[in-house]
Amino acid sequence: MSFKSLGLSAELLRALAERSYSKPTPVQTQAIPVILKGRDILAGAQTGTGKTAGFALPLLQLLSSRTVVKGKNCVRALILAPTRELAAQVEESVAAYGKYLPLKSAAIYGGVKIDPQIGVLRRGVDILVATPGRLLDHVQQRTVDLSQVEVLVLDEADRMLDMGFIRDIRKVIQLLPRRRQNLLFFATFSRDIKDLVDELLNSPILVEAARRNAAADSVEQLVHPVDRTRKRALLSFLIGSRGWRQVLVFTRTKHGANRLTKQLEHDGISAAAIHGNKSQGTRTRTLEEFKKGGIRVLVATDIASRGIDIQQLPHVVNFELPNVPEDYVHRIGRTGRAKSNGTAVSLVCIEEREQLREIERLLKHPIPEQIIEGFEPDPSIEPTALSNGQTQPGAFKVHNPKTQKWRRPSVPR
């Protein structure tokens, strides 16, 4: 399955190629054709499944294919989101996918001055991403006109309901034309969502992002080959699409741990880093928070992970393979204790192949490999000389099968 075969236009395909999206994710494969047909959808998809592109791409295509004469301040598509962060992130994606189309998008949310937003709306916005409260402020001030909205998207609808936005949402819906397309995304289905669905959607098609399959459940160790630059997206995808709740992720460096934490937060996944630069007090608090389930992902370096003892930690991810093969064993030893079926997943780029071989030598067996659809490594990428990830030459050890010892290779520094 390709984006082209889903019926997307050349402008969108070009933007996708620039972002190196090679294949649609399952939720995209299901949602895009249905939305393009103008149908309502009800989609169960969490962050990380590619849901944003799942609605943004067909939305952009539908709007660009129709010619309309619209009034001043009129919006053609309205995306409601629960938080500022999500609204900003969704708008960023819409703008990126639509960069070759003559459609304007904007995000409006509370907590910032309203005047600049009024200016933006006055200049004309086709696709508006908004949090419900601030949108109603604009409605009151008559700075936005929702009477010509063709498509309504409720992103993370369950979270909006949890946050008490139902009355605001109802008020907004009253301002929309009756004839319109509705797309509703949720992570967890509830009674409240059902009521909203009955009220809002018109013979919706149900779309569900693939959940993890049973075979993968029993696999303890797995390698996902992936390009280095795609690791972060793959990690968000795995966490989101498989509904992982407590994930310990290993990076090689403190800097890498900090950076990854920020990126995960940006993807809407709560994360915190622990490493040698954090005080003991901070580390202890972070760990407690993680154990309680307040933080979904803990990003750690090998040194910092030494004191971590979590019973039945379900998921360990090697975002980068360790420099020392023995550390791999320490890392994965933290999952699947006491009969729980934990998984230890390693995201391995071509530059880390040698490290992987060393680990397999230490384990005395190969680790099964599985390529994740949509994240296939680019076959044209060659490993860079001595790259070993971003490792400095000589920072890893080599196993000598004759002596059964590990030594640092003699590489000139």
Toward ligand AMP, which CB reaches closer, 289 or 376?
376
Neighbour tally for 234: CB within 10 Å: 20
168 binds ligand AMP (CB under 6 A): no
* CA nearest neighbour of 174 among 94, 239, 78, 82: 78
- Cβ-based nearer residue to ligand AMP, 240 or 389: 240
Pick from 30, 47, 301, 318 the residue near ligand AMP by CB under 6 A. 47
Measured from the CB of residue 25, what is the shortest distance to ligand AMP in angstroms? 5
Work out which of 50, 256, 325, 336 binds ligand AMP, going by CB under 6 A: 50
For ligand AMP, the closer CB: 28 or 117 = 28
- Residues 268 and 280: their CA atoms lie apart, in Å, by 27
**Residues constituting the chain:** 413
CA atoms within 13 A on the CB side of 186: 19
How far apart are CB 178 and ligand AMP at their closest, in Å?
Answer: 29
- Considering only residues 16-45, where is the footprint of ligand AMP by CB under 6 A? 21, 23-25, 28
- Report the residue number, 94 or 193, with the smaller CB distance to ligand AMP: 94
Residues 358-377 that bind ligand AMP (CB under 6 A): 374
Angle at 30 between CA 26 and CA 36, to 5 degrees: 135
Per-residue binding letters, 199-238, with ligand AMP (x by CB under 6 A):
----------------------------------x--xx-
State how far the Cα of 305 lies from the Cα of 302, in Å rounded to an integer.
Answer: 5
The answer to whether the CB of 133 falls within 8 A of the CB of 156 is no
For ligand AMP, the binding residues in 234-263 under the rule CB under 6 A are 236-237, 240
Helical spans, DSSP H, in 155-301:
157-162, 166-174, 191-200, 214-218, 231-241, 254-266, 280-292
Which of residues 117 and 236 has its CB atom nearest to ligand AMP in the complex? 236
Closest separation in Å from C-beta 396 to ligand AMP: 29
Query: How far is CA 226 from each of CA 135, 301, 347, rounded to the nearest angstrom?
Result: 41, 21, 6
Q: How many residues bind ligand AMP (CB under 6 A)?
A: 18
- Indicate the residue among 130 and 146 with the shorter CB distance to ligand AMP: 130
Sign for the pseudo-dihedral over CA of 50, 53, 59, 62: negative
CB of 82 vs ligand AMP, minimal distance in Å? 14
Count of CA atoms in the C-beta half-sphere (13 A) of 403: 6
What minimum distance in Å lies between the beta carbon of 269 and ligand AMP? 9
Tokens 């609808």 -> residue: 157
CA neighbours closer than 13 Å in the CB half-sphere of residue 117: 23
* Helix, coil or strand: residue 141: coil
Closest CB 240 distance from ligand AMP, rounded Å: 6
CB of 207 to ligand AMP, least distance (A): 13
Q: What is the dihedral of CA 151, 156, 158, 164, to 10 degrees?
A: -90
Nearer to ligand AMP, 268 or 389 (CB): 268
Given candidates 126, 267, 327, 352, which one binds ligand AMP under the rule CB under 6 A? 267
For ligand AMP, which is the closer residue by CB, 220 or 376?
A: 376
Annotate each residue in 370-409 with x if it binds ligand AMP (CB under 6 A) or - if it does not, as one string.
Answer: ----x-----------------------------------
Q: What are phi and psi of 233, to 5 degrees?
A: -60, -40
90 or 149, CB closer to ligand AMP?
A: 90
| Residue type, position 19, single letter | R
Nearest partner of 146 among 174, 166, 110, 170, judged by Cα: 174
Which C-beta is closer to ligand AMP: that of 23 or that of 104?
23
Which of 31, 32, 42, 53 is close enough to bind ligand AMP by CB under 6 A? 53
Distance CA 335, CA 312 (A): 6
Element holding 130 (H helix, E strand): strand 127-130
Rounded to a whole number of angstroms, the CA Rg of the chain reads: 24
Which residues here bind ligand AMP, judged by CB under 6 A?
A: 21, 23-25, 28, 47-53, 233, 236-237, 240, 267, 374
